[in-house]
Amino acid sequence: MRKKIGQVTIHMYLPKKSLMNGNYAPFIKITFQGEFFTVSTRCEVSLAEWRKYSDCPPESHPLTVEWEKTCDCIRNLVSEGDFSLALLKDLLKGGKRTSVQAFARELSDNYRTEGKHNTADLYELTAKTLDAFTGTPVRFSRCDTSFCKSYVAWLRDVKHNSPTTISIRARNLSSILGKAVERHLLRDNPMKKVKVPSGGRKELNISEESLRRLLNATCNELPEKEFHYLQYFRCLYYGNGINIGDLLRLRHENISSNEIIYYRKKTEVSSFKKLIRIPLLPQLAEALNHLAGGKRHIIPVLEPYRENSEEEFKAIKQTTKTINKYLGRACETLHIREKVTTNLARHAFATRLLQKGIPVEFISEALGHSNIQTTRHYLEGYTGQQRKEAAKLLIL
């Protein structure tokens, strides 16, 4: 049996070899643009039955049922202009028609299962953004360069997103479409042909005087909560710019011989597992002692939550927001104009060393970066003040 639907050719045939009982298990071969795959009919027939069936195939025969099921799937895909062998194969196996949003959410669920909650949230956000952009599921057949350009233009002209936000959204969509290419849902990634505005890096600066006032403020100068949350900033700064999540995950056993020793969480599931060693300066020890109180962890924030759980991830995000809120209030109390956040503490540590002539190689090691180029790129946007100060030296 042979049939053609659009550019798709369907052919039911008998294999050369019979089964152990002498019967044959017919296959259906689907060919499209020079590529093909075969599916089993899950039926057995004798050679005589096959010849009889070929002459006049009855509608109720199991072979006809499987044949028509395959033909119906192909007709639907071809009529909607969404045909691919990979998608057909998935449908024949009982899968469902998928959209870019559904695929993004599937990836999000997978990452959440693996404990990669930040990536999961980014993919879910991309799906929501596409929902807002189109109002309908986006079939992969629609997802071409023109669609991607329209999406970027919508982010810029309708949503009035900043270049940084547009760059992040575009990167996330490109990552999702790249994984769709790996699954053969797309032939190539259309985002690669779309010009996206460079997000650049927002300068995070704090003057030496403001930094000194923050690090030396006493409980007599600040309200209790502001002083309490300021200790997080001090831990992050004196702790070699430790990530807030890594700080909250520190356990008592991570302290040994006046050092804090731990593996950076961000590298835990990668091939580059980075061991970090932080000297336990008196200032760091004092700030940690102020925040301490947990049985499993030094800081008790994550005590109630299972490791790598979504609840743990949300607790870290909420704690970061709370710290930043009270850091803002502390700055108002101390008459500091710069915007101070947990993120600034890491950069203040790095730029402070850079300003004092510490080699970038050492800073890279302290920050836990996998290579020095990452560190150079990381510091790029944060040395603007240095450039301005250097330029002033030209004035006589």
Closest CA to 299 of 236, 351, 392: 236
Residue 248 has pLDDT above 80, yes or no: yes
pLDDT of residue 395: 46
Question: CB-based contacts of 236: which residues, under 8 Å, 6+ apart?
Answer: 242, 244, 247, 342, 345, 346, 349
Domain count across the chain: 3
Q: Are residues 136 and 242 in the same domain?
A: no
Q: Which residue has the higher pLDDT, 17 or 142?
A: 17
pLDDT of residue 79: 76
User: CA 334, CA 220: separation in Å to the nearest integer?
Assistant: 12
Please give the angle made by the CA atoms of 190, 194 and 200, to the nearest 5 degrees. 130
In a domain, 60, yes or no: yes
Of 193, 220, 255, the residue that ends a domain is 193
Q: Are residues 283 and 359 in the same domain?
A: yes
In a domain, 354, yes or no: yes
Q: 354-367 pLDDT, tens per residue?
A: 777 777 776 776 67
Average pLDDT over residues 26-44: 91
In a domain, 241, yes or no: yes
Q: 189-226 pLDDT, tens per residue?
A: 999 999 887 655 555 678 889 999 999 999 999 999 99
Q: 334-380 pLDDT, tens per residue?
A: 999 999 999 888 877 877 777 777 777 767 766 766 666 666 665 66
Q: Which residue has the higher pLDDT, 80 or 67?
A: 67
pLDDT of residue 91: 72
Burial (Cβ within 10 Å: 0-12, 13-18, ≥19) of residue 208:
exposed
In a domain, 200, yes or no: no
In a domain, 203, yes or no: no
Q: Are residues 388 and 347 in the same domain?
A: yes
Q: 227-241 pLDDT, tens per residue?
A: 999 999 999 999 888
CATH number of the domain where residue 155 is located: 1.10.150.130
User: CA 237, CA 234: separation in Å to the nearest integer?
Assistant: 5
Q: Which letter, b or e, does each residue of 294-303 get, where b requires 16 or more Cβ atoms within 10 Å of its Cβ? A: beebbbebbe
Residue 392 has pLDDT above 60, yes or no: no
Mean pLDDT of the chain: 85
Q: Are residues 329 and 219 in the same domain?
A: yes
**100 close to 177: Cβ distance less than 8 angstroms:** yes
Q: Are residues 388 and 353 in the same domain?
A: yes
Q: pLDDT category, 394, cuts 50, 70, 90?
A: very low
Residue 386 has pLDDT above 60, yes or no: no
Q: pLDDT category, 393, cuts 50, 70, 90?
A: very low
Burial (Cβ within 10 Å: 0-12, 13-18, ≥19) of residue 393:
exposed
| CA distance between the termini of the chain | 91
Of 92, 115, 145, the residue that ends a domain is 92
Q: Does the pTM of the predicted model rise above 0.75?
A: no
Q: Are residues 289 and 150 in the same domain?
A: no
Q: 1-25 pLDDT, tens per residue?
A: 889 998 999 999 999 899 999 999 9
Residue 281 has pLDDT above 50, yes or no: yes
Q: Are residues 295 and 379 in the same domain?
A: yes
Residue 80 has pLDDT above 70, yes or no: no
pLDDT of residue 328: 95
Q: Are residues 373 and 230 in the same domain?
A: yes
Give the range with max mean pLDDT: 228-232, 274-278, 307-311: 228-232
Please give the angle made by the CA atoms of 19, 91 and 81, to the nearest 5 degrees. 125
Q: Are residues 124 and 215 in the same domain?
A: no
User: CA 197, CA 207: separation in Å to the nearest integer?
Assistant: 30
Residue 381 has pLDDT above 70, yes or no: no
Task: Express as a percent the part of the chain with pLDDT over 90.
Answer: 49
Q: Are residues 160 and 249 in the same domain?
A: no
Q: pLDDT category, 272, cuts 50, 70, 90?
A: low
Could you tell me which residues are beta bridge partners of residue 277? 261
Q: Are residues 141 and 40 in the same domain?
A: no
Domain that holds residue 65: 2-92
Q: pLDDT category, 396, cuts 50, 70, 90?
A: very low
Q: Are residues 61 and 136 in the same domain?
A: no
Task: Express as a percent the part of the chain with pLDDT over 70.
Answer: 85
In a domain, 340, yes or no: yes
Q: pLDDT category, 82, cuts 50, 70, 90?
A: low
310-333 vs 117-134: helix crossing angle, rounded to 10: 90
CATH number of the domain where residue 342 is located: 1.10.443.10
